[in-house]
Amino acid sequence: MPPKTDYQDPVASEEPKKKGRGRPKKNPDAEVKGKKAPAKKGGGDWKGHLAKTFAAGKKKNPKYKYSEAMKDAAKTYKGKK
């Protein structure tokens, strides 16, 4: 047995740290002094057009890929420019 001393190893005596998520990060677009976050605009027309294009292509060809639908939808999309 090692001799007893009054010295305590500071690393060994520390309590294990709790693993938590900490404070949630603030959203820069969130409310600032009573103001609401700006509404996101656009995107709905393109997504709808892409979904319709993909559904139509899938009916014709069961192996039709989403990447192909994106290329085909880009050719026929007439959105805000």
Beta pairing partners, 32 = 35
51: phi then psi, degrees, rounded to nearest 5? -65, -40
CA–CA dist 61, 38 (Å, integer)? 41
How many domains in the chain? 1
pTM above 0.75, yes or no: no
Give the CA radius of gyration of the chain: 29
Structural domain boundaries enclosing 79: 50-81
Within a domain: 17: no
| 24-72 pLDDT tens trace | 666 666 555 666 666 666 667 899 999 999 999 999 999 999 999 999 9
Within a domain: 36: no
Q: Please report the beta strands in the chain, taking only residues with DSSP state E, as ranges in sequence order.
A: none
Within a domain: 65: yes
- With a CB cutoff of 8 Å and minimum separation 6, the contacts of 58 are 64
